[in-house]
Amino acid sequence: MINKERLRIALQKSGRLSGDSFELLARCGIKIRSPKDKLFVHAENFPLDLLLVRDDDIPGLVMDGICDLGIVGTNVLEEAALERARNGQPGEYRPVQELDFGACRLALAVPEDFDYAGAASLNGRRIATSYPNLLRRYLARQGIAARVVALSGSVEIAPRMGIAEAICDLVSTGATLEANQLRAVETVFKSRAQLIGGTAPLAEPKRHAAEILLRRMEGVRAANESKYIMLHAPKAALADIAALIPGAENPTLLPLAGDQEKVAFHAVCAEAVFWETMEKLKALGASSILVLPIEKMML
């Protein structure tokens, strides 16, 4: 079952990061046909196996060398690293790539009727959280003496249950807080998804597979951040038009049939192209302005 020649990546089975993690692999051209309710899934067209687990287990799987790679939120990662340091366990990993999804923050939140006047209001209070290490570090840095109540889930109901006066939990859209009549008052940690690897060097052929996978992931990110822009530009305004397009190096210029005044201008733009930019391009005499998403990119 476990093949030492295949790369092994740990992904969240279900939750905030799982959809984007699977989509990232799909955009890297990796085909996974097996049902997602399995623990262990093989990619069909790439030497990669997926271990589908709870996000909290991902840092440990990578730190212990059971998986070569993992995609996990930096909140979970940092909490695991602090917990391991506390217990004297090895907690080494290599940050491989920041990913452009899973942005959220770990925040302190209090009931809407809590008379909150700055973090000092939490002195002597109980704060429920699934991130006791991150919270303790924050409280120590802020000089707040509060009691940390560690819960493994459903932290948002702790104030109503009388277990704590405040909570420290992840906030993404804010819907969970709102539904529980809580409001975020301080940011403890800003998180996003990250690709991590172990610190031990990979042996061939895994090393080669990892290199290809990482190059594709970088390509997906570059493609996400870029747009392809095409327009018809008056020859006289070419320099001004190029100056409006961020990162458009060496645009391609093509003649337009039956038009001596204008050329077709094609360029990869390093950022989103806003309506304001398109209006300015039009004011410079550009026409037929098209902005297209880029599916894949290799630089």
Q: Name the residues that contact ligand PRP, by CB under 6 A.
A: 15-16, 55, 153, 169-176
The nearest distance, CB 12 to ligand PRP, in angstroms, is: 8
C-alpha dihedral sign at 9, 44, 41, 38? positive
The nearest distance, CB 171 to ligand PRP, in angstroms, is: 5
For the sheet containing 166-171, what is the strand order?
147-150, 126-129, 166-171, 104-111, 182-191
CA distance 53 to 18: 10
Tell me which residues in 56-75 interact with Zn ion (CB under 5 A): 56
The nearest distance, CB 226 to ligand PRP, in angstroms, is: 28
Residue 79 sits in the site that holds Zn ion (CB under 5 A)? no
From the list 107, 79, 128, 73, the residue with the least C-alpha distance to 187 is 107
Considering beta carbons, is residue 96 or 104 the nearer one to ligand PRP?
104
Q: What does 16 interact with, of Zn ion, ligand PRP, none (CB < 5 to 8 A by kind)? A: ligand PRP
The nearest distance, CB 99 to ligand PRP, in angstroms, is: 16
Q: Which two tokens stand for residue 54?
A: 């709870």
How do strand 166-171 and strand 227-234 relate by DSSP bridges?
unpaired
Which residues neighbour 77 within 8 Å (Cβ) at sequence distance 6 or greater? 58, 59, 93, 194, 196
Q: What does 65 interact with, of Zn ion, ligand PRP, none (CB < 5 to 8 A by kind)? A: none
Considering beta carbons, is residue 74 or 277 the nearer one to Zn ion?
74
Considering beta carbons, is residue 189 or 265 the nearer one to Zn ion?
189
Count of residues that interact with Zn ion, criterion CB under 5 A: 2
102 CB burial (10 A radius; 0-12, 13-18, 19+): buried
Measuring CA to CA, how many Å separate 56 from each of 71, 111, 235, 243? Answer: 11, 27, 57, 47
Encoded one letter per residue, x for contact with Zn ion by CB under 5 A and - for no contact, window 1-40 reads: ----------------------------------------
Give yes or no for a cis peptide into 205 (omega within 30° of 0). yes
Residue 55 sits in the site that holds Zn ion (CB under 5 A)? yes
The nearest distance, CB 50 to ligand PRP, in angstroms, is: 18
Considering beta carbons, is residue 117 or 179 the nearer one to ligand PRP?
179
Q: Which two tokens stand for residue 37?
A: 């309710």
Q: What does 173 interact with, of ligand PRP, Zn ion, none (CB < 5 to 8 A by kind)? A: ligand PRP
Residue nearest to Zn ion (CB): 55
> At 65, which amino acid appears?
G
Binding site for Zn ion (CB under 5 A): 55-56
